[in-house]
Structure 1
């Protein structure tokens, strides 16, 4: 693996590929990694898959993004515990996308990187007969949303699969919150809420300085350019909007033209010093294309924070995505999720009281002995599906105690998403609600972004 990497980079950038390894043609699926600028591209390959060939075609321009991706794969191949056996065949050149299309050495394109052209890459890959697994966001603005509309139409016409990576559906507290909300004796019915007191609230806090696979994550400089990465309201907000749909209307299609009404949206920047920028990018300073966002000569305004107040069908929802520089010692990204039912509120919190670990609570509207009896009886349904999960009485309700075996961690969820994607491919069984709900999700985020930008322009 490492020799392959060095051999490639000892040749001029116009030399095209390394062919040291022969593909196992008996495997039905062959990966293509396109311009891997985000660490999520590597996390898809943190494990091996029985149906997927070990040889992966990589098409990218020369640069640090590619170097880091190869090093991550190399790390998985050389780890002591359960090492992988990927063999990366790399094409380097400015015409990487055209070369990928002309060669067609695989049948699944994995896209996780610079989002500026992602919707174009998705559409053209599908037009040329390739399945696509795209990291979020697949669209970062209204123009991108129009393109993925066409992309889904193309996928249907060409009998191809287009899917995005929604890892948060595999987090155990989220799974249990959804399952509990579907038991009327425990949750009742989802309340409608109001604009000032929404029935569903979701908030995520992310940090620019973080560890991935045991190492400090180096962010590419373009990650801090919202025209390339996308604003927070159109990027990480996709997870929150997806979970709202997935939990509030499980396995039900959503019509974005009629079911979504955005009441308000706003965005604001996180300000980074030059020193902080250098730390997370390992660069010498702000690149020229970011100077337009630099104030006071050394403070970068990064518009990564956003909030949306909207109605999904008849339910009032509030979603908030926040980015900060560095988490306090011993903490990390956090998630907050509240669903108000007529019988109980289901709450996921991850604060200091929870030792910054996601924790699920059931807080009844009426904390009576009758409710407790119904809860204990109906909770057996959860325990049948998830043996070992228990209830712990607290002052204002119950904590759902979850065994460690269910807490796989965020990085493991990428493999779970990919296995689901492969299952849909192999069995042609992707649920009918997935496509309309992906469209609904990206409509919500891109329309909210437009609204937030317009509101800001009016205040200037």
Structure 2
């Protein structure tokens, strides 16, 4: 694929459409956001903090309903908070032709998408065909048909000179960053082991919870979130992050060809039981909606929320698992376990009870000796020039990488960091070609894995 480029002429014309002719040039040069059909709280997290270069007026096109209300309430909360309040001005259109109106109004240059995944590829196509850039929450595709549509959208975006990109917040998590840094240091990690199906080179398990707190308040989820045909199951939803992390850690900026470099081995999926009371707590709905009734037995819904996929990428074995429970243990939260197996050590992220439910990074040597300790200490010292304050702490036969609190920015803050990355692409005039190729490879793994997955009982 050719370098994925952005036309300054087209960008300028979109911004002029969003700005009056008498406005100062610095206002016309700002990026103007459009929020399209916000149905997931991630749409609001893009705006949790003010970002230089982003205009404060955001145009919202969506149907009326509780999802739009929830989105606007979060923005209002950000505007009215005591600590570093934002000053967003939401211009909302809710007419029945809201999608066509967005395309004809052309009041922004970047369309932000986070909502019902059943419609996401259609919305991506609409924005690209209108000549608008797209910043989309994951997943951008939940079926193999969506994958075909998404590939076409990337090709159309390339031809139209607009940027299409997904929001990969996990690359901003400091334990993931340092795991990647140490993995790429041969003096510590040695060589990546190709692994086996039983002991993969990379193995990641992510556990999430339906009932959770967001921006200090209980999260109210829409009822469709629990429908695999609208939200997608775990293999195509959370698993998007896990595939992205795997390829990013292993290959950095190397382009992947999904047809040649990836071979899927197996996939399984299973359900999480959810009582009517639990469902009501999460959604506010008194009963299960009609579209969930096929999954209900004896007043308990079986939610298609868990899955594991095994595959090979360039000869390395990978196992990825995404799971959902109703709520976290007392004092707990979402968890993440990731192990990269090298010839000299394993580099492991753990986030369980022993870690007080916070992600911690460990180095577990194959042979703990003075030479290895010296190599690790030297590596961390080099990295501390870039990540100030990190250090090595021996813990029996393993080492803990101590990370200062100021580097632990948190999931919600990562959205602003992804937005900064995207603004950098706009300024540079391109989404790097490797990013585009690897997004396509990523959604091949998720959608093909979902298609081959066998249902099991657990």
Shift of 1:273: 0.3
Q: Does 2:79 correspond to 1:77? A: yes
Shift of 1:432: 2.1
C-alpha separation in 2, matches of 1:124 and 1:26: 24
What SS does the aligned partner of 2:221 have? Answer: coil
State the partner residue of 1:439: 440
What SS does the aligned partner of 1:272 have? Answer: strand
Aligned partners of 2:209 and 2:334 also within 8 Å: yes
So what's the TM-score if we normalise by structure 1?
A: 0.92
So what's the TM-score if we normalise by structure 2?
A: 0.93
Shift of 1:379: 2.2
State the partner residue of 1:317: 318
| Alpha-carbon RMSD | 1.4
Q: Which residues of structure 2 form unaligned runs of 5+?
A: 1-21
Moved over 3 A (4+): 22-25
What SS does the aligned partner of 1:265 have? Answer: strand
C-alpha separation in 2, matches of 1:286 and 1:307: 27
Q: Does 2:322 correspond to 1:346? A: no
Q: Which of 66, 69, 72 lines up with 2:68 in the alignment?
A: 66
State the partner residue of 1:130: 132
Aligned partners of 2:163 and 2:430 also within 8 Å: no
Which structure would you say has the larger RCO, counting Cα contacts within 8 Å and 6 or more residues apart? 2
What SS does the aligned partner of 1:226 have? Answer: coil
Q: How many aligned residue pairs are there? A: 434
C-alpha separation in 2, matches of 1:23 and 1:264: 57
CA deviations on 1:140-179 (whole Å, 9 max, x unpaired) are 0101000110011011111110000000000000000000
- Using the TM superposition, name which of 47-56 and 30-39 deviates more: 47-56
Aligned partners of 2:210 and 2:324 also within 8 Å: yes
Query: What pairs with 1:145-294 in structure 2 (closer than 5 Å)?
Result: 145-294=147-296
What SS does the aligned partner of 1:322 have? Answer: strand
C-alpha separation in 1, matches of 2:347 and 2:121: 36
C-alpha separation in 2, matches of 1:312 and 1:121: 30
What SS does the aligned partner of 1:326 have? Answer: coil
C-alpha separation in 2, matches of 1:299 and 1:361: 40
What SS does the aligned partner of 2:364 have? Answer: strand
Shift of 1:49: 1.7
C-alpha separation in 2, matches of 1:60 and 1:423: 28
C-alpha separation in 2, matches of 1:288 and 1:27: 47
C-alpha separation in 2, matches of 1:304 and 1:284: 21
Aligned partners of 1:27 and 1:52 also within 8 Å: no
C-alpha separation in 2, matches of 1:379 and 1:35: 45
C-alpha separation in 1, matches of 2:208 and 2:379: 35
Q: Does 2:378 correspond to 1:363? A: no
CA deviations on 1:383-408 (whole Å, 9 max, x unpaired) are 11111100001111210000000011
C-alpha separation in 1, matches of 2:63 and 2:447: 28
Aligned partners of 1:23 and 1:53 also within 8 Å: no
Shift of 1:429: 4.2
C-alpha separation in 2, matches of 1:51 and 1:377: 39
C-alpha separation in 2, matches of 1:336 and 1:444: 20
Aligned partners of 1:220 and 1:281 also within 8 Å: yes
C-alpha separation in 2, matches of 1:118 and 1:377: 46
State the partner residue of 2:8: none
CA deviations on 1:286-327 (whole Å, 9 max, x unpaired) are 11121111112x111110101001101110000000000011
Query: What pairs with 1:89-100 in structure 2 (closer than 5 Å)?
Result: 89-100=91-102
Q: Which residues of structure 1 form unaligned runs of 5+?
A: 1-21
State the partner residue of 2:105: 103
